[in-house]
């Protein structure tokens, strides 16, 4: 009889093994079997033979650390970033972009079959980016110092609050690298205290950069623990001297002991309170606190697909559930008779109303509240939609909302989703309620990471 651990498997912590990777899991982690016991290995690709060390053993699975790739997959590529292995910002840089897109398409197909029980849905190839780097229009990074007093700015390491210092990040706009380096120099020169999470002391907590991709306009936000910010004039001068198109420099005050990055209070140090950007023809004001999709180019691809699937002729009433700041609603308003946007966060609705006004959109109306409560209320009051668009957070739609929509019997439903598993679950529910999913288009909004956004087109089938 073989030696067994407390979980009835022969796999032991700290043991080294050579394994073959059978598959990649939903975060692209390698999946291998040792005597039928499943082991997950970050950074290993399907088809590879790798040497691993077991770092964790649970009842149903183990976790291995990749020590060496013995036989490489054709899809393996050298990460462009030197901090890739330690940083928690990206997790697919070790595989070619083409295979990242393929991985995303296959994952969507797999969950639609397994969770959605939908066998005959057309899943298109994932729409990727021509240049899958430098796509983020927003970055927010913690600022700190190490034991030797060296200034650190960077993402946290995975599952920790250790700042991985970086010179340059390949998924953010290049202006971010410059702002980070200026900030570090300024902290060093004037010996500005950085924030200490444990003691809730120090001053500079985070640095945030936002850029309008169409306008080129840049906003820099320095997040401080309290009102005090010594040498702020020098900070502003250095940023303005070295960065083009800076239209707004803001001090955001957050004196709470919290993981939430921004506080509620903002003080303008230079320029205006907001910057502007466009998605398609529509202009949006962006403040430090407002939500705006982080990949400007792909957002347009996603929204255009949603508009294409809605296939509006001009006479339709449309519901946009989970509308955020009304971005999809404005897109739909171009071709609909009337759009009703519903969103739970009051500030987002205030922004949505302002965005509609500034873009001269008169046929969109916005309602604050839970979609699952407000949409049934609209229906009760006699408002009937021909097309419904939903774009819920990761957990998907409340089942009661799906029932209310199906009862109203719109011709079409367009489902925009940032989580394939909950999308598949909800498409299955809608299938039982008489809505057939015709096609699904994955869109790569987050290259170099495992995340994938989808748009699904459903029609009434009864």
In angstroms, what is the minimal distance from the CB of 115 to ligand SAH?
Answer: 21
CA 220/CA 239 separation, integer angstroms: 9
Looking at the Cβ atoms of 251 and 293, the one nearer to ligand SAH is 293
Q: How far is the CB of 356 from ligand SAH (least distance, A)?
A: 14
Kindly tell me the burial class for residue 14, based on how many C-beta atoms sit within 10 Å of its own C-beta (0-12, 13-18, 19 or more): exposed
Q: Which is nearer to ligand SAH, 143 or 390 (CB)?
A: 390
With CB atoms as reference, the residue minimizing the distance to ligand SAH is 324
Q: Residue 458 corresponds to which tokens in the numbers above?
A: 């459903």
The C-alpha atoms of residue 61 and residue 335 are separated, in whole angstroms, by 51
Minimum gap (Å) between residue 151 Cβ and ligand SAH: 34
Q: Compose the 280-319 pattern: x for residues touching ligand SAH by CB under 6 A, - for all others.
A: -------------x--------------------------
State how far the Cα of 53 lies from the Cα of 61, in Å rounded to an integer.
14
C-alpha count within 13 angstroms, C-beta hemisphere, residue 324: 15
CB of 26 to ligand SAH, least distance (A): 20
Whole-angstrom distance, CA of residue 415 vs CA of residue 457: 7
Backbone angles phi, psi at 254, to 5 degrees: -135, 100
The interface region with ligand SAH, picked from 161-169, 320-328, 430-438, 447-455 by CB under 6 A, is 320-328
The interface with ligand SAH within residues 370-399 (CB under 6 A) comprises: 370-372, 391-393
Task: Give me the count of residues in the chain.
Answer: 462
Residue 418 annotated as catalytic: yes
Q: Which two tokens stand for residue 229?
A: 């910010």
Q: Does residue 217 belong to the site contacting ligand SAH (CB under 6 A)? A: no
Alpha carbon distance 123, 120 (integer Å): 9
Is 124 buried (19+), middle (13-18) or exposed (0-12) by CB count in 10 A?
middle
Question: Is the torsion defined by CA of 225, 229, 230, 231 positive or negative?
Answer: positive
How many residues lie near ligand SAH (CB under 6 A)? Answer: 17
Q: CA-CA distance, 376 to 272, in Å (whole number)?
A: 41
DSSP characters for 100-145?
HHHHHHHHHHHHHHHTT---S-EEPPPB--SS-SS-BSEEEEEEEE
Closer to ligand SAH by CB, 328 or 402: give it.
328
> What is the x/- site pattern for ligand SAH, positions 329-368, by CB under 6 A?
-------------xxxx--x--------------------
CB closer to ligand SAH out of 184 and 211: 211
Active site residues: 418
What is the binding site for ligand SAH (CB under 6 A)?
Answer: 293, 322-324, 327-328, 342-345, 348, 370-372, 391-393
């Amino acid at each position: 009889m073989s030696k067994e651990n407390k979980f009835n498997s022969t796999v032991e912590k700290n043991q080294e093994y050579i394994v073959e990777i059978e598959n990649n899991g939903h975060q692209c982690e390698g999946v291998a079997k040792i005597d039928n016991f499943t082991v997950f290995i970050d950074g290993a690709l399907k088809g590879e033979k790798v040497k691993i060390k077991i770092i964790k053993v649970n009842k149903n699975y183990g976790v291995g650390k990749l020590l060496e790739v013995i036989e490489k997959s054709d899809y393996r590529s050298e990460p462009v970033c030197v901090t890739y292995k330690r940083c928690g910002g990206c997790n697919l840089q070790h595989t070619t972009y083409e295979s990242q897109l393929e991985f995303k398409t296959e994952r969507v197909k797999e969950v639609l079959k397994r969770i959605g029980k939908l066998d005959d849905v057309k899943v298109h190839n994932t729409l990727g980016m021509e240049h899958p780097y430098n796509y983020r229009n927003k970055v927010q990074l913690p600022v700190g110092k190490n034991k030797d007093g060296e200034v650190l700015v960077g993402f946290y390491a995975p599952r920790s609050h250790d700042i991985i210092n970086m010179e340059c990040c390949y998924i953010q706009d290049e202006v971010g690298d410059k702002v980070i380096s200026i900030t570090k120099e300024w902290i060093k020169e004037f010996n500005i205290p950085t924030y200490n999470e444990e003691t809730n002391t120090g001053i500079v907590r985070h640095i945030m950069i936002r850029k309008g991709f169409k306008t080129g306009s840049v906003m820099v936000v320095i997040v401080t623990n309290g009102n005090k910010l010594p040498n702020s004039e020098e900070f502003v001068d250095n940023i303005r001297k070295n960065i083009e198109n800076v239209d707004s420099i803001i001090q955001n005050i957050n004196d709470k002991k919290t993981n939430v990055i921004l506080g509620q209070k903002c003080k303008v140090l230079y320029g205006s309170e907001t910057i502007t950007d466009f998605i398609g023809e529509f202009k949006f004001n962006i403040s430090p606190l407002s939500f705006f999709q982080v990949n400007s180019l792909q957002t347009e691809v996603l929204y255009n697909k949603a508009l294409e699937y809605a296939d509006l002729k001009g006479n339709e009433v449309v519901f946009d559930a989970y509308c955020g700041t009304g971005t999809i609603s404005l897109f739909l308003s171009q071709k609909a008779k009337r759009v009703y946007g519903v969103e739970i966060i009051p500030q987002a609705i205030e922004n949505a109303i302002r965005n509609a006004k500034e873009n001269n959109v008169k046929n969109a109306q916005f309602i604050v509240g839970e979609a699952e409560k407000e949409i049934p209320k609209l229906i009760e009051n006699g408002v009937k939609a021909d097309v419904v668009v939903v774009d819920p957070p990761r957990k998907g739609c409340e089942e009661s909302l799906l029932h209310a929509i199906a009862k109203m019997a719109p011709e079409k439903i367009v489902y925009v989703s940032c989580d394939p598993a909950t999308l598949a679950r909800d498409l299955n529910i809608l299938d039982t309620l008489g809505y057939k999913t015709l096609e699904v288009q994955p869109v790569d909004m987050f290259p170099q990471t495992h995340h994938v956004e989808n748009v699904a087109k459903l029609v009434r089938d009864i």
